[in-house]
Amino acid sequence: MTCTRRNLFLAAAGAVAMLSFSPAQAQQATEVQLTYSGSQFQPGEVRAPADKPVVIRIRNLDGKAMEFESKSLRVEKVVAARSEGVVNVRALKPGRYEFFDDFNEKARGALVVQ
């Protein structure tokens, strides 16, 4: 799949996922916060309850863009320098879901769902 087709597919999938939250589910979502600074995620590990949607709020304090990506969560989001991005994630089963900065794969973290 070409990069453009892949990006269009991911954008469409993300839109469908966001539209699939009912208002009641959106109110019950658990919010977790991450900061990206010095090319690292802080905290390196965040926790959320199982079987509830998760909202991941990412504050990028660095002077360059970063791309929050997770293959296991099936999400990617570019967050511009000195700005904030939000990623909505479907309800998850218990497990460890790794994420990284696609522009700097040494910057890694995990969402632990219990």
Say if strands 30-37 and 54-60 run parallel, antiparallel, or are unpaired. parallel
Does residue 5 surpass a pLDDT of 90? no
- Structurally, what CATH architecture does the domain formed by 3-113 represent? Sandwich (2.60)
- Give 31-71 pLDDT, tens digit per residue: 999 999 999 999 999 999 999 999 999 999 999 999 999 99
- Give 6-32 pLDDT, tens digit per residue: 555 555 555 545 544 444 444 589 999
What is the predicted pLDDT for the residue at 65?
97
| DSSP 3-state of 97 | strand
Q: Which residues pair with 25 in a beta bridge?
A: none
Does residue 93 surpass a pLDDT of 80? yes
CA of residue 48 relative to chain centroid, distance = 13
